[in-house]
Amino acid sequence: MKRNALLAAAGVMALGLGAYEWPLAPASHAAPPPREAVPQSLSQVQLTFAPIVKRVAPAVVNVYTRSVVQAPANPFFNDPFFRQFFGGGGLSRERVQRSLGSGVIVRADGTILTNNHVVQDAQDVVVALSDKREFKAKVVLADPRTDLAVLKIDTKGESLPTLQFADSDRVQVGDLVLAVGDPFGVGQTVTMGIVSALARTQVSASDYQFFIQTDAAINPGNSGGALVTSDGKLAGINSSIVSNSGGSVGIGFAIPSNMAKRILDGSGSGGVKLAWFGADGQAVNSDIAHSLGLPKPGGVLLKSVYPGGPAAKAGLKVGDVVLAIDGFSVDDMQSLNYRIATHNAGDAPSLKVSTDGHARDVAVKLTLPPDIPRQITTVGGRNPLTGARVENLSPAAALDLQLEPTATGVAIVSPGRSIAANQGFQPGDIIRSVNGAAIRNVGDLNRALTQANGHWDMIIDRNGQRMTLSVDG
């Protein structure tokens, strides 16, 4: 008994030693114990994903990009302190910048899904199939809001192998998954893991990220590749990792296939118009839940509702808490935005809403966000914003810039490579005032900058925080 207990404690019972009995005394003439059944075929001793990989691998491609960027000829111009005094000038030279990623063939005509960050700003995009053939690709759609892009290659009528979409809402924590891509450019690689978590939202700057987390190894070069279910369907597009070293530590993230399919379906119209909810809010923590009389933390507390928008027309108001959409719980604005974005304008998803502690069901008919003439302008003259592209805010512009849907005023679309960039301005910054003058539109901004007489006191909103900047020049 001591020997059996020792074997059990050593954890070797599952390794086959438990099928044998080592006699402690001379064998008797009693009948031997029945032998356990032994495997009769290879399939009984070998669990393999080889048939799935064989079917999936041809639909996963490598994506190579090439961009020409301006690099300072003098390394001193890489120093922000040096650029501050010399305006980022100096001689420059062109440098070819290359990047590597992966993609997934989702239509037999050569339509491919990948990440936006894989192809962003690329002048040339090349797709290499698993059989080594290479094709120049056209970027049909690049959507920074969701970090997804759609590519197209000319197959001359040849039908390519594809991956079928899984319903990512049916994926569960603990499911086995495969990650397929080209890490570090070593060639197509398959790794295995499980779904570690769902609905990860606080790992990206985008308002529409709602990640599947996996411990399947994902490394640089895997971006845009496939996260595949154990039955060979596309659960998500591998996108990012958490790592201090740059390599996999078992925390990888994939964009759910339902969002990827939404972007793919909208790419044929020249751009994806995401549905609009018309309200903004914050996550309900334990303190807020207690103050509102909710039994536990969860949901989104509405802090602004756009007049005449879908939420307002459905009777929602500031102080209401959105608990679920289509039966799926929402715990922050990113998860709420994701659930809305997977719908089309005209859909009426069912929301569970708590008002004054009483839950009710509300149907909200979604629309496209209202827009106004964008009046995108490049700021001229000599001032802290010189070279920046700015525009008047509307719900549509705010949606594109991932700002609150009720935001008003003038926002920076891009600081460019300019004085504005050297001053630290970023896309999405909202200019509230210049020298005390309120900025309501681009005209107000141009007048205030021109009348400043060499001194600018500016108030800027960035990610919900108010900042001040004083510049003399």
The confidence score (pLDDT) of residue 31 equals 59
Would 279-363 and 377-472 be classified into the same CATH topology? Answer: yes
C-alpha closest to that of 467 among 379, 453, 457: 457
Over 70: is that where the pLDDT of 382 sits? yes
Among the listed residues 99, 196, 223, 240, the single catalytic one is: 223
Distance CA 165, CA 168 (A): 8
The confidence score (pLDDT) of residue 417 equals 81
- In the chain, the percentage of residues whose pLDDT exceeds 70 is 81
Q: What are phi and psi of 80, to 5 degrees?
A: -60, -35
Greater confidence (82 vs 186) lies with 186
279-363 has which CATH code?
A: 2.30.42.10
Instruction: Give the pLDDT confidence of 51-75 residue by residue, as tens digits.
Output: 899 999 999 999 988 765 555 555 4
Taking domain 377-472, whether its CATH number is 3.30.565.10 is answered by no
Over 90: is that where the pLDDT of 309 sits? yes
C-alpha closest to that of 118 among 61, 70, 202: 61
Q: Which tokens hold the place of 227?
A: 């996260």
The confidence score (pLDDT) of residue 92 equals 52
Lowest mean pLDDT among 71-85, 217-231, 265-279: 71-85
Q: What are phi and psi of 127, to 5 degrees?
A: -110, 130
Greater confidence (423 vs 73) lies with 423
Among the listed residues 99, 102, 143, 147, the single catalytic one is: 147
Lowest mean pLDDT among 80-89, 119-128, 351-360: 80-89
Active site residue 147: yes
Distance CA 235, CA 255 (A): 8
Q: Report the SS3 class of residue 154.
A: coil
C-alpha closest to that of 412 among 448, 434, 385, 394: 385
Active site residue 204: no
- Average pLDDT score over residue span 245-265: 87
Over 70: is that where the pLDDT of 322 sits? yes
Q: Which tokens hold the place of 284?
A: 């309900």
Greater confidence (314 vs 69) lies with 314
Greater confidence (106 vs 186) lies with 106
C-alpha closest to that of 333 among 343, 319, 322: 322
- Average pLDDT score over residue span 22-35: 49
Among the listed residues 117, 168, 331, 414, the single catalytic one is: 117
Greater confidence (17 vs 416) lies with 416
- Average pLDDT score over residue span 3-22: 33
Active site residue 343: no
Over 90: is that where the pLDDT of 398 sits? no
C-alpha closest to that of 441 among 450, 451, 431: 431
Instruction: Give the pLDDT confidence of 325-347 residue by residue, as tens digits.
Output: 999 999 998 899 999 999 999 99
Instruction: Give the pLDDT confidence of 152-177 residue by residue, as tens digits.
Output: 999 999 999 999 999 999 999 999 99
Class at the top of the CATH hierarchy for domain 54-272:
mainly beta
Cα torsion for 77, 80, 85, 88, to the nearest 10°?
50
The confidence score (pLDDT) of residue 19 equals 35
Q: Sorting pLDDT into bands at 50, 70 and 90, what band is 319? A: very high
Report domain extents, the chain: 54-272, 279-363, 377-472
